[in-house]
């Protein structure tokens, strides 16, 4: 019988290697960390998100994202603005320079993605995508305390 892959070990090693390499590339190409690039990219898709929404999207803590937004704002890549309808809500808005940075680095990210997937044919790439989406969308439910006991 074939031994099942050690998912936790492999995912941890893969994430660490991927994050290190991608972080070096985004710093070299745009002078931003991978996480900061994620904030900017998210804002190109939906400008005016709150720090809480960004934190959820990026699976990060609010304090970490808030600090990143502060650093990006100092550089003029984003700005914070109070919501017109509810002054308690602060929105993060992408600035022209931030949008230009993402436009410049987006092809690099596409290239990195293609390089990672190159050894795999299309059906394998679909399985990889499905697996990673499954993990991202369901890990909390699948691995929750007591989940295995509930199913038995």
Q: What is the mean pLDDT of the chain?
A: 91
Could you give the residue ranges of the DSSP H alpha helices within 1-58?
A: 7-30, 34-45, 51-58
Q: What is the pLDDT of residues 104-124, one digit of tens each?
A: 988 988 999 999 999 999 999
CATH topology of domain 8-144: Arc Repressor Mutant, subunit A (1.10.10)
The stretch 139-148 carries a mean pLDDT of 75
Q: Where are the beta strands (DSSP E) in 22-136?
A: 78-82, 90-94
**Residue ranges per structural domain of the chain:** 8-144
The stretch 30-42 carries a mean pLDDT of 93
Give the torsion through C-alpha atoms of 31, 34, 35, 39, to 10 deg. 70
Q: How far apart are CA 117 and CA 125, in angstroms?
A: 7
Q: What is the pLDDT of residues 40-81, one digit of tens each?
A: 999 999 999 999 999 999 989 999 999 999 999 999 999 999
Q: How confident is the model at residue 144 (pLDDT cuts 50, 70, 90)?
A: confident
């Amino acid at each position: 019988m074939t031994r099942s892959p050690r998912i936790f070990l492999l995912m941890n090693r893969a994430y660490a290697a991927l994050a290190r390499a991608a972080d070096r590339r985004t710093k070299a190409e745009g002078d931003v960390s991978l996480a900061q690039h994620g904030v900017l990219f998210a804002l190109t898709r939906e400008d005016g998100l709150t720090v809480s929404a960004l934190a959820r999207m990026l699976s990060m803590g609010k304090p970490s994202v808030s600090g990143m937004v502060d650093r990006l704002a100092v550089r003029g890549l984003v700005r914070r603005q109070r919501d017109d309808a509810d002054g308690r809500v602060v929105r993060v808005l992408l600035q022209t320079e931030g949008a230009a940075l993402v436009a410049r680095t987006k092809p690099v990210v596409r290239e990195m993605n293609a390089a990672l997937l190159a050894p795999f044919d299309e059906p394998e790439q679909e399985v990889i995508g499905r697996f990673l989406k499954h993990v991202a969308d369901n890990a909390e439910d699948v691995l929750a305390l007591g989940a295995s006991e509930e199913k038995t």
